[in-house]
């Protein structure tokens, strides 16, 4: 059976006109004879994003879910270790909702760890001379909510692996924000290596 990876990314938010996660995802090159990539654009919505991810998993039945998001202020790929069962939004989401100190799923697991081979993925990015690090916080905004949803699906046996990678600003965004950035070309190059590694383990 062909290996299948579902990769999600987000629409723009907080006044930005683009989101690096979606720009990078839609620019990924096809990987011939190495599995199938399914792309999913998610709204920056606590209510809708987890639901749409869950529906996509039920419909397409991927083996792996990799979610991407923006972490403005970081300088490279952030491979997230932990999804927590909490929402505490610094700003409203795109629906105008701003949950503060609320459980995503009351009574369920406090946190889940990524089930991606993070050390191996970090090595792949370092081979490309790209800035990358392991991160112990995916924040408490919609990115974390989607990561928690994917990890929750993995814990229930719906997928084999789930994880999240944060990306920095693109240069055109960072210029006005005085923040670190990464070129779209480098984002795509790194994500291609990550996806190749994840799919190759499925085909091994």
- Number of domains observed in the structure of the chain: 1
CATH number at residue 93: 3.40.630.20
Reply yes or no on whether 11 is catalytic.
no
Which member of 124, 143, 149, 202 is catalytic? 143
- What is the C-alpha separation between 38 and 87, in angstroms, rounded? 27
Which member of 124, 149, 166, 202 is catalytic? 166
pLDDT, tens digit (0-9, with 9 covering 90-100), for 132-156: 999 999 999 999 999 999 999 999 9
End-to-end CA separation in angstroms for the chain: 12
- Count other Cβ atoms within 10 Å, centred on residue 45: 21
Residue 159 belongs to what domain range?
4-203
Question: What is the pLDDT averaged over residues 83-111?
Answer: 98
- What is the C-alpha separation between 129 and 106, in angstroms, rounded? 42
Which member of 80, 124, 149, 202 is catalytic? 80
Residue 32 has pLDDT above 60, yes or no: no
Reply yes or no on whether 60 is catalytic.
no
Reply yes or no on whether 143 is catalytic.
yes
Residue 33 has pLDDT above 70, yes or no: no
Q: What's the pLDDT band for 162 if we cut at 50, 70, 90?
A: very high
Cβ partners under 8 Å of residue 123, min gap 6: none
């Amino acid at each position: 059976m062909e290996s299948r990876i579902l990769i999600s990314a987000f629409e723009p938010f907080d006044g930005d006109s683009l989101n690096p996660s979606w720009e990078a995802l839609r620019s990924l090159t096809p990987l011939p004879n190495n599995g199938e990539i399914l792309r999913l654009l998610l709204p920056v919505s606590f209510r809708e994003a987890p639901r749409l991810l869950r529906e996509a998993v039920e419909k397409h039945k991927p083996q792996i879910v990799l979610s991407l998001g923006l972490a403005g202020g970081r300088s490279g790929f952030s491979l997230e270790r932990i999804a927590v069962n909490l929402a505490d939004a610094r700003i409203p989401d795109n629906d105008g909702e701003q949950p503060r100190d609320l459980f995503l799923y009351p009574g369920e697991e406090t946190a889940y760890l990524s089930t991606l081979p993070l050390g191996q993925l970090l090595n792949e990015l370092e081979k490309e001379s790209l800035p990358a690090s392991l991160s112990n916080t995916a924040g408490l905004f919609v990115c974390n909510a989607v990561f928690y949803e994917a990890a929750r699906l993995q814990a229930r046996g719906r997928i084999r692996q789930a994880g999240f990678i944060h990306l920095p600003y693109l240069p055109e965004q960072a210029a006005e924000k005085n923040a670190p950035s990464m070129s779209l070309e480098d984002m795509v190059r790194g994500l291609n290596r990550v996806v190749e590694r994840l799919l190759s383990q499925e085909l091994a």
